[in-house]
Structure 1
Amino acid sequence: MPTLETLRLSLEKIKSEDQELIFRGLSHPEVIKYYGVSYSSFQETKEQMEWYTNLEKSNSGMWWAIWLKDSKEFCGAIGYNGLMEEHKKAELGFWLLPEFWGKGIVQEAGQKVIQYFFRDLELHRIEAYVEAGNINSSKALKRLGFEHEGCLRDSEFKNGQFISVDIFALLNPTP
């Protein structure tokens, strides 16, 4: 799994020693408000760490920890899962700790990861699923060039109620 670098960021393989950082993000009320995964204890986060490892082992995805190069601060995570080689597509996902929101980090990391998807993985399509109402993630995807393709109404059950999910996609401009 390659380390990807941008002007400000280093995207590095998520390691077992990152579990505390992953827990901090995936237990934070503002992060998990629209995110499909959440944990209430450090021990439960081990399940997420195993998921990251199993994705890579099964060759169905990979996730990077996002670090600021200068300060070595952990910002969040970005990656893909659901790789379908026969269809040349995968699903993009990301989350950031709130103190890093609005600083262009998803934009910068996303551009680098998308470049990797299209150039190195030779994907044709990248999909992203966003809970309806998650305006910030929807805006971030649009800034990355994703197009809103529709809404999957009441397609998931979360916190005792059905939620709708918007689907976004980006096609490789050089097929």
Structure 2
Amino acid sequence: MKNSTYPQMKIIKTNRCILRPATLEDANDMFEYYSQSKVVKYLPMQKHNTIADTKRFIKTFFLSNYKKGNIGHFAVVFKENSKTIGNVGFNNITSTSKEGEIGICINPKYWGLDLSSELALAMLRYGFEDLNLQKIIAITFEDNNYSRKSLEKLGFNYLGVFKKNLHSSISSLVTCHKYEMSQEYYFKRLNKKYKRND
């Protein structure tokens, strides 16, 4: 289903979630998780101290990129309670991009429900079937074993380990693990395993 305001950002439904473009009305729900240190630990940003911080972030990270015609992150709305519990998407690619990197951020209250696998699968379908990406990348951090298991379960290929500088200082180097999947692999193997029912 297409979004009328930002046509490049379709509305996607999964078993438990609805993915749609973010709006300023998501500020309270997003503040709930972006105000936590453990959520922003590996993001190039500080935790939000006020709702105003979250509104500024929505304007710059989400809305500004939508208005440029970029394909960015979706707000993740949990069907059970209609609450925005996170965001997921590609890190601001264009309609002509051939490669995209998945980013997922979830409110800690909803950790442990295997939502990351459900959301990553939705991004695989969207990226390969709708956007015609040739390759999708995913990067996880050393202490995030859950995400690594999720990616491996979905069929991502492990490329190896590297160091990433998050905050422009030697002390902020963190160990990362890189995964990728090709469109060819997706259509040969995963598309048969995870048939769309939408």
TM-score by length of 2: 0.77
**Partner residue, 2:5:** none
- Deviation of residue 86 (structure 1)? 5.9
After TM superposition, give the deviation of residue 85 of structure 1 in Å. 6.0
User: Cα offset for 1:87?
Assistant: 5.6
Secondary structure at the residue paired with 1:66?
strand
- Please give the alpha-carbon distance, in whole angstroms, between the structure 2 residues aligned to 1:145 and 1:21: 32
Shift of 1:57: 2.5
Q: How many Å separate the matches in 1 of 2:96 and 2:25?
A: 34
Higher share in strand:
1
| Percent of aligned pairs with the same amino acid | 24
8 Å contact from structure 1 (residues 34, 134) kept in 2: no
User: Is the Cα contact below 8 Å between 1:78 and 1:95 reproduced in 2?
Assistant: yes
Cα distance, 1:117 vs. partner? Answer: 0.7
Are 2:41 and 1:33 aligned? yes
2:85 equivalent to 1:75: yes
Instruction: Say if 2:73 and 2:92, in contact at 8 Å, map to a contact too.
Output: no
Equivalent residue in structure 1 for 2:111, among 93, 101, 119: 101
Amino acid at match of 1:39: H
Q: In structure 2, how many angstroms separate the alpha carbons of the residues matched to 1:163 and 1:42?
A: 29
Larger displacement relative to structure 2 (126-135 or 94-103) = 126-135
Match of 2:6 in 1: none
Is the CA contact (8 Å cut-off) linking 2:19 and 2:76 kept in structure 1? yes
1:14 aligns with 2:25: no
1:88 correspondence with 2:98 = yes
Aligned residues, how many?
A: 174
Shift of residue 134 of structure 1? 2.1
Moved more, 24-33 or 87-96: 24-33
Counterparts of 2:21 and 2:95, CA distance in 1: 21
2:4 alignment counterpart: none
Superposed CA RMSD: 2.3
Q: Secondary structure at the match of 1:46?
A: helix
Following superposition of structure 1 onto structure 2, how do residues 10-159 of structure 1 map, counting pairs within 5 Å? 10-37=18-45, 38-50=47-59, 51-83=61-93, 88-153=98-163, 155-158=164-167
In the alignment, the residues of structure 2 paired with residue 143 and residue 78 of structure 1 have an alpha-carbon distance, to the nearest angstrom, of: 19
How far residue 39 of structure 1 moved from its aligned partner, in angstroms, is: 2.4
Cα deviation code 1:77-119 (max 9, x no counterpart): 1111142666610110001111211112121122122101111
Please give the per-residue CA displacement for 1:11-41, whole angstroms capped at 9, x wherever unaligned.
1211111112222211213322333433233
Cα pair 1:65 1:74 within 8 Å, conserved = yes
Kept in 2: contact 1:91–1:126 (CA 8 A): yes
CA-to-partner distance for each residue in 1:137-157, whole Å, 9 max, x for gaps?
22222223222212222x304
Matched letter for residue 87 of structure 2: A
1:75, distance to aligned residue in structure 2 (A): 2.1
Contact 1:77 / 1:96 at 8 angstroms: preserved in 2?
Answer: yes
Q: Which runs of 4+ in 1 moved over 6 A?
A: none
Q: CA deviation at 1:171?
A: 1.2
